[in-house]
Amino acid sequence: MRSLLFVPGDDPRKLEKAMGAGADALIVDLEDSVAATRKEAARASAAAFLAQAGNGGPRLYLRINDLDSGLAEGDLDAALAPALAGIMLPKCCGGADVARLDAMLRLEEARHRLEAGCLTILTVATETAASLFAMASFAGSSPRLEGISWGAEDLSAELVAESNRDETGQFTDPYRLARTLTLLGAVAAGALPIDAVYTSFRDPDGLRAEARAARRDGFLAKLAIHPAQVPVINEVFAPDPAALARARAIVAAFEAAPDAGTVGLDGQMIDRPHLLRARRLLAGAAS
């Protein structure tokens, strides 16, 4: 996956339109984009949309309300459907929350007669100050854990920050830390590292620059809040054919010499970190 587009769960028109936006995944949102008075309507709209969704389109995820909201169980009970690939958990405070959601999903899969273990988990992992101290806990928390993203808006609200960006438009130190910890935590957990949304949806140049920086550092995908952002994200995170060919050559060289710590390839010495990077690149391209 390269692009994951949020769509308000209470807007059937936007849900249908988003199917043709070109995103690799749609996140049907029952949380931040839905007013408190619209939660029940959003559940009904999301359930109707997911019930008629077919195969062959983008991967479909459901962002439920957070585990302490009192709404998460109702979200799952109302809107689970065979079309779903997984659940996005907001305001996730670490591996314990992922394990808790895993247990809930086991019950809901049985209740809805879905295949056991069919639903994966995506998290938004930096929306509270406490969550930043728990990034290492995601490793081993659940085999369902597919991806970890981060968010600056809720975190800045909790910090009562005047802004999360400086006068040049760059994230300030607390949010750069959150971004870095997300990348490290995701890689340590074997999950897809997903960069945060770029909220200025009418600024494609700013989005492109931020997406390129994220890819440079190791993120493999990015969240979107508007269909117009999807082509830019897909372009930036598209697998580079030359890089994929190089990665396949590195993997093949080590497969031909399984006991070697280093191998020679095109006049260069390649070691195990190169192999790990190559495998990760190929896995990301295949997801």
Between CA 51 and CA 193 the distance in angstroms is 29
If pLDDT is split at 50, 70 and 90, which confidence band does 10 have? very high
- The residue that leads in pLDDT, 179 or 56, is 179
Q: What is the pLDDT of residue 281?
A: 78
For the cut 70, the answer to whether the pLDDT of residue 78 exceeds it is: yes
Residues 210-237 have a mean pLDDT of: 97
For the cut 70, the answer to whether the pLDDT of residue 150 exceeds it is: yes
0.85 surpassed by pTM: yes
Residues 135-160 have a mean pLDDT of: 96
Domains of the chain, residue spans = 3-237, 241-286
Question: What's the whole-number average pLDDT of the chain?
Answer: 94
For the cut 90, the answer to whether the pLDDT of residue 279 exceeds it is: no
Instruction: Note the pLDDT tens digit of each residue in 154-197.
Output: 999 999 999 999 999 999 999 999 999 999 999 999 999 999 99
Residues 258-271 have a mean pLDDT of: 88
Strand 262-265 and strand 268-271: the pairing is antiparallel
pLDDT-wise least confident of 41-55, 60-74, 130-144, 203-217: 41-55
- E strands along 174-224, which residues? 192-195, 221-224
Residues 279-284 have a mean pLDDT of: 78
If pLDDT is split at 50, 70 and 90, which confidence band does 285 have? confident
For the cut 80, the answer to whether the pLDDT of residue 127 exceeds it is: yes
The second-level CATH assignment, the architecture, of 3-237 is: Alpha-Beta Barrel (3.20)
Between CA 165 and CA 152 the distance in angstroms is 9
Angle between helices 230-237 and 204-217 (to 10 degrees): 30
Q: What is the pLDDT of residue 11?
A: 95
Q: What is the pLDDT of residue 39?
A: 96
If pLDDT is split at 50, 70 and 90, which confidence band does 287 have? low
- Element (DSSP H or E) covering residue 48: helix 39-52
Q: What is the pLDDT of residue 242?
A: 87
- The owner of tokens 């952002």 is 229
The CA-based angle 145-148-152, given to 5 degrees, is 150
